[in-house]
């Protein structure tokens, strides 16, 4: 019988992309501080220092805003 998962497989975690600004074709979502709509999905852009951090894509804007709030909290702790 095969094992359920590979034991030595590396865990892949998401590293936020660093961008100069949200793209021009992104649409700002009303009612949310950091959420933009790109190609039908929701993405958060958080300004950290001089650059924006981009979240992974989400299907609901609330999830993108939660990601942005978490990034803000993490950055405040590190600084």
**Which tokens hold the place of 52?**
């924006």
Rounded to two decimals, the pTM is: 0.70
Q: What pLDDT is stored for residue 6 in this prediction?
A: 63
Cβ atoms of 53 and 72 closer than 8 Å = no
- Residue 68, H or E segment: helix 61-78
- b/e string for 32-71 if b means 16 or more Cβ within 10 A? bebbbbeeeebbbbbeeeeebbbbeebeebebbbebbeeb
Q: What pLDDT is stored for residue 3 in this prediction?
A: 62
Q: What pLDDT is stored for residue 79 in this prediction?
A: 41
Over residues 27-76, the pLDDT tens digits come to 999 999 999 999 899 999 998 888 888 999 999 999 999 999 999 888 77
Q: What pLDDT is stored for residue 78 in this prediction?
A: 47
């Amino acid at each position: 019988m095969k094992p359920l998962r590979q034991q030595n497989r590396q865990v892949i975690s998401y590293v936020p992309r660093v961008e100069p600004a949200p793209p021009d074709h992104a649409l700002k979502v009303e009612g949310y501080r950091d959420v933009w709509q790109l190609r039908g999905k929701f993405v958060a852009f958080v300004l950290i220092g001089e650059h924006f951090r981009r979240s992974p894509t989400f299907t609901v804007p609330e999830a993108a805003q939660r990601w942005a709030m978490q990034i803000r909290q993490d950055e405040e702790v590190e600084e």
